[in-house]
Copies of this chain bind each other. A is one copy, B any other.
Amino acid sequence: MLETVGYVAGLLTTLAFIPQVLQIYKTKSAKDVSLAMFLLFTLGVFMWLAYGIMTNSFPVVAANAVTLLLSLLILFFKFKYNKVA
């Protein structure tokens, strides 16, 4: 039960970024998405990934590897579709 709550929580906070990626891709607009947010967030997720590797925690590594990819994709779109924040 306890582990299930953790896994569902991790799935939700990771997969949540997919609709944001899809929305920017479809609308070709990312004006309202904060560049500072995704710079800080991407750096944080990168550090979570490092923390997961250092502590040999597979769930932390897996969740943050996927989130890092999605977060980098959003940053890429932000630069591609809106050069100015």
Q: What is the interface of chain A, defined by CB distance below 8 A to chain B?
A: 2, 5-6, 8-20, 22-24, 27, 29-34, 36-38, 40-41, 43-45, 47-48, 50-51, 54-55, 85
A40 near B54 with CB under 8 A, answer no
Q: Choose from B19, B30, B43 the contact partner of A32 (Cβ within 8 Å).
A: B30
The CA of A24 and the CA of B85, in the complex, are separated in Å by 12
* Complex Cα spacing A43 to B18, Å: 15
Q: From B13, B19, B32, give the contact of A44 (CB < 8 A).
A: B13
- Asked whether, in the complex, the Cβ of A40 is within 8 Å of the Cβ of B16, the reply is yes
Q: Which residues of B contact A55 (CB under 8 A)?
A: 2
Contact call A5/B37, Cβ cutoff below 8 A: no
